[in-house]
Amino acid sequence: MLVMLTVVAGAGFNQAFAQNATAPVVLVHGDSLSAAYGLPAGRGWVDLLREKMMREAPGFKVVNASISGETTLGGRNRLAALLAQHRPAVVILELGANDGLRGAALDGVRDNLSAMAAASRTAGAQVLILGMRLPPNYGAEYGRRFHALFGEVAHTQRAAWVPFLFEGFGDRRDLFQDDGIHPVASAQPRMLDTVWPALEPLLRKARARAGLLLPVPGA
């Protein structure tokens, strides 16, 4: 159901809508890279996204359903309940890295991502897929095919796509924790900057669908 809202100027509108149960949801469905593994509270890129949206795209609720260690199969098994509970307007899929690090069969990874994107779209959500690359020690051919599958799924499922979540710093060892896998706090704004250009158009569409009368700031 579309809910038309009376325009209330400034912060009053933002507060009123934030408290409204019908606020459109952005669901982040990911692994430790989105669950802020090893970071101080509130310093992960999803936390920064929530703050940015309060300033630049008010009226949304961000739900972070990410779990450290999650695989595409685990995410696929959990997604139906999340879609039913939150009825998201946008689903951000940040899964696959753990599959790749474990050398999982790529056909299975592709199938799981495709199923999640399809289920999200069937539930009425727009989908954004965040791509990932593997360290070179996993083999050039496997790494190439792994990275390519994110774009392939995005194309077939008509989803938005970010080719590489670590764009611009993936080779910067100083921007990763001691495990060499998880970015440090100072890298989280870079991740958000990579995601935002692909996400913002989806937020504009979601606002229109929800009947929000105020434009995204800067539009």
Label residue 94 exposed, middle or buried (CB < 10 Å: 0-12, 13-18, 19+). Answer: buried
Is 32 marked active-site?
yes
Cα(120)–Cα(27) distance, integer angstroms: 10
Choice among 29, 31, 32, 114 that is catalytic:
32
Choice among 68, 111, 182, 193 that is catalytic:
182
Residues with a catalytic annotation lie at 32, 179, 182
